[in-house]
Amino acid sequence: MKRNIDISVSTLTVDEADEVIKYAKSLQGIADFMHCDIIDGKFAPKATYNYDVVENINQNCLTMLDVHLMVEEPSAEIDDYIAAGANILTVHYEAYEDKEKLNSDLIHIRNCNTLAGLSFKPETPFKDIKMFCFNIDVLLVMGVEPGACGQKLLPNTFSKLKKIASFREANKLKFKIEVDGGVTEENAQTLISAGADILVSGNAVYKAKDRAKAINVLRGL
């Protein structure tokens, strides 16, 4: 049975806040999610925008919002992004020194009727985050280093996805596996075969002449 694959279109390809909103509106009814890359310039390079822009996207676009916090202090910002309209809110494992606080934040996000996402950098082994997978809805696998658009997918991403998918099945868990960074038309189907349910796309959609067609190609349609 063919799985339903969602495409979350990254806003990291767009520099100005007004252009982000315009871009999101143009993909309404085409993209499954808008992937809002929130970067503070400390946790990862190239600071982007904040919850005011996310709220503006939410007010002007019906597409669900996949908010990815690449910030040093996510706990202080979680409620602002939930209020701004995040449908998925993803925090980074590495942003927390106190891992009990990470777990409580994930539970808090879910208690606010928002899907809780957890992400981890490429160098962080999956074994370090297994225990948190019981309190999440989405596990976001970074296929590149956070912060820069246009990087090539790291080759070990495929084996990592297979390991995560096996863990999910063995523990009868329901979280979605999302891949962010380096996703292209050429590798999308291999990523899906390895276990990905949600593909984050930046340049593959943004630079396409026909963005709707590009999204369908990524889905495998």
**SS3 letters across 70-113:** ECCCHHHCHHHHHHHCCCEEEEEHHHCCCHHHHHHHHHHHHHCC
Q: How far apart are CA 78 and CA 108, in angstroms?
A: 9
Q: How far apart are CA 56 and CA 31, in angstroms?
A: 18
Q: How far apart are CA 203 and CA 73, in angstroms?
A: 28
180 part of the active site: yes
Residue among 37, 66, 137, 197 flagged as catalytic: 37
Q: Assign residue 29 a region: left if phi > 0, alpha if psi is -120 to 50, beta otherwise? A: left
Residue among 32, 66, 105, 180 flagged as catalytic: 180
6 part of the active site: no
Catalytic residue numbers?
Answer: 37, 180
